[in-house]
Amino acid sequence: MTGKGSFAGLLSFLGVIVVSLLAGLLPVLLLAASRRKGEYVPAWAPRVVGRPAVLAAVYVLFVGALFAHGLVIWSNPFARACALAAGVAMSIVPVVLVRTGAFHPRRTLELRDDRRSERTLIAVRSPHPPPAPEVRLRYADGRDLEADGEEIPFFDRLRRAVVALPPGASGEELKVWAHRVTQEGESEALAATVAVRTVDRAEAADLALSRGEAVFPFAEGLIEVEVALERA
């Protein structure tokens, strides 16, 4: 319409806005959340990458770049307004996520029937592994067994598993995940219910209705988690 244009200028505008969001905001937030809420802990992970000082430095670098373009570098009013708006948004999003509990630490109690390895495991996953829990297994014939390690024997006859967990930290969450891994690597919810009991309260959930997952707040005292399997 004006008879002129700048392809490099368009790339500069999009690069500053988009790269700041994709490289400076999302990876920092995802890493901070996954280090606290991840269901699986890798055998090796560089701890320095997830340290608060490193994440804050990366975040401040990209937020500062946005405000520098919006206040100093760019002269186009529209471009400057977009850069400032993106900078303000990047400053607000982490505060909102903190208030909604996105970075609360979480333990995951996983019951996994793995059809690929023909093994069934029950274990507690946490960024900071707690002491090994006590696991009691009850079978269809009335037998009660203490689990020796993570593997569950005779899963086809298992009726319920009761796990005693030590107290959690302030603000910590507990996720219960009961699922089957198919030969194709897909995760399917097990037909099961879960009951979480403490000294002063009890909660329950039907895992089959929530993709095999349920999240509960940790209590100050000892927690007992019972997963009951619904057999046909």
Place of tokens 């089957």: 180
Give pLDDT tens digits for 143-198.
888 887 888 988 989 999 999 887 766 678 889 999 999 999 899 999 999 999 88
**What are the domain boundaries of the chain?**
7-99, 106-229
Which of 102, 101, 71 lies closest to 84, judged by CA? 71
Say how many C-beta atoms besides its own lie within 10 A of residue 6's C-beta.
9
Place of tokens 């319409």: 1
For the cut 90, the answer to whether the pLDDT of residue 10 exceeds it is: no
For the cut 60, the answer to whether the pLDDT of residue 232 exceeds it is: no
Measured CA to CA in angstroms, residue 74 lies from 14, 85, 118, 138, 185 at distances of: 13, 14, 61, 68, 50
Place of tokens 């002129």: 4
Give the DSSP per-residue string, 190-213: -SEEEEEE-SS-EEEEEGGGTTTE
Specify the pLDDT at position 130.
Answer: 67
For the cut 70, the answer to whether the pLDDT of residue 126 exceeds it is: yes
Q: What's this model's pTM, rounded to 2 decimal places?
A: 0.77
Token couple for 69: 């373009």
**How open is the CA angle 38-39-42, to the nearest 5 degrees?**
75
Of the listed ranges 127-131, 187-191, 204-208, 209-213, the least confidently predicted one is 127-131
Mean pLDDT calculated for residue range 72-93: 92
Write the CATH number of the domain with boundaries 106-229: 2.60.40
